[in-house]
Amino acid sequence: MSEDTIASVIRAQGRLGDRVFVTADADRLTYGAAELRSRKLASALMDEGIGRGSRVAMLFGNSTDFAVCFLALSRIGAIAMPISTLSTAPEIGGMLANADAEFFIATPSYRGRDLREVVAAAVDRDLAGTLLLPRLPILRRLWFGTYSIWPLDRDMPENKWGSIGKPLSGMKVRIADPDSGEILAPGETGSVQLGGHNILRGICGREREEVFTRDGWYDAGDMGSLDVDGFLWFAGRRDDMVKISGATVYPSEVEAALQAIPGVARAFATDLLVNGRLTIGAAVILEKGIALDEASLAASAKERLSAFKVPSRWKILGSLDGVPRNASDKVDKAGLQALLLG
C-alpha cells in the first residue's frame, strides 16, 4: 500500500510550478499556486476548528476558489461535501441535515445570484440573527467566501445583520478606491484588498505589479466596505460595476432595490448602451395577481434608488422562463441586454 498522503501528493504536484492546473472562465490556477494557497487556507481553517473527519459543506460555483478550498479540506483530512449553486434552499437544507454537516463554506454570490439569501432560507434563520437551527443541530459555523467569517455558535449584533462578518484569523482586509488606490475610511465602498500569511504569492503569466499593490496587498476583485468595528459588507464583484454619469452603479444593488418593491417577485438588472450612453435596464417578474406597469415600477424605484441608478429600460416578464439562460442555466447577460434593447 502506498504511504503517500493527500498532502504529500499536493506538495509533489506543486513542483510543476507554473503549469496550469485548473481553468475557470478567465481565471487560471497553476499547480504551484494551488499547493501554496491550499496549504495556507488549510492552516487558517484548522485555526477555526476544522480537523480530520470534520464534515464540511461547500457552496461554490465553477471557480479556482472551489479547487483551492477542496484541496485545503483534503489536506486537513476533512470530509468535503460540494453543493451545486443551482440547488434550492430546501435542497441545501436537506443535504446539510442528511450529511450532519458541521461547517459550511459558501461564496456570497455567483453569476448574479445572491447566495446569502438562499443560505439564509436553507438553514432556516437570519444569517446574523439568533441561532434557530433545530433541523441542523450539528452545524456549528458558516463562512461566506474565503476571507471573512461569523460563527453560527455566536449571535451577531443586530446592527451587523447583512454583513459577511470579520476577517479570518491571520487575514487582513482593507478597502481602497478602485481608481486612485487611496485607502478608504470605514463605511466607504471600494475594492476589497487582502493581506496576511494566507495570501498567494503570485499568478502565472502576470507580473507581480499586476497582481499586488506596491505595498503587497492582493485585490480580490470584490467591492465592499468595512465598518468601524471591522465587519465586512459585501457590495458585489467589481467586474459587475458600471459607471453611469460618472457615478458607480452595481446591478446587484439595483436588483435588490427592485425586489423590495411590493408586488415584484424577481428582478434582473444590467448595463445597456442606448444611443451611445450607458444606462441601466431591468427585467422584472411580478407576483401572481399583481398588475404593475413600467411607470409604476420606475416611480417606486425612484423612492429607493438615486436617479442615475433607476432603470431607463424595462421589460415585464410572465415567468422565469422568459429570462435568458446560458448552457449552465445561468442568466445570460448578453441575452438579457438583447431582450431589454429589443
The topology (CATH level 3) of 241-341 is: GMP Synthetase; Chain A, domain 3 (3.30.300)
pLDDT of residue 129: 40
Cα–Cα distance measured from residue 45 to residue 76, given in angstroms and rounded to the nearest whole number: 9
Q: Which three cell numbers stand for residue 338?
A: 438583447
Strand 55-59 relative to strand 103-106, pairing: parallel
Cα–Cα distance measured from residue 289 to residue 266, given in angstroms and rounded to the nearest whole number: 14
Cα–Cα distance measured from residue 219 to residue 212, given in angstroms and rounded to the nearest whole number: 7
Rg of the chain (C-alpha set): 21
Q: In what order do the strands lie in the sheet with 171-176?
A: 171-176, 190-196, 218-226, 232-237
What letter would DSSP give residue 262? T
Cβ contact 175:188 at 8 Å: yes
Per-residue pLDDT tens for 60-87?
988 888 999 999 999 999 999 999 888 8
The answer to whether 6-168 and 241-341 have equal CATH topology is: no
Cβ contact 104:165 at 8 Å: no
Cβ contact 304:284 at 8 Å: no
Sequence-distant (6+) residues with CB within 8 A of 17 are 30, 31, 32
Per-residue pLDDT tens for 177-223?
888 889 999 999 888 998 887 677 776 556 777 788 888 898 888 88
CB atoms within 10 A of CB 56: 24
CB atoms within 10 A of CB 166: 18
**Domain boundaries of the chain, sorted by first residue:** 6-168, 241-341
Residue 202, CA atoms < 13 Å, CB-side half-sphere = 10
The mean of the pLDDT values for the chain is 83
Residue among 100, 88, 157 at smallest CA distance from 127: 157
Q: Which has more pLDDT, 79 or 116?
A: 79
Backbone angles phi, psi at 83, to 5 degrees: -125, 135
The model scores a pTM over 0.85: no
Architecture of domain 6-168: 3-Layer(aba) Sandwich (3.40)
CB atoms within 10 A of CB 306: 11
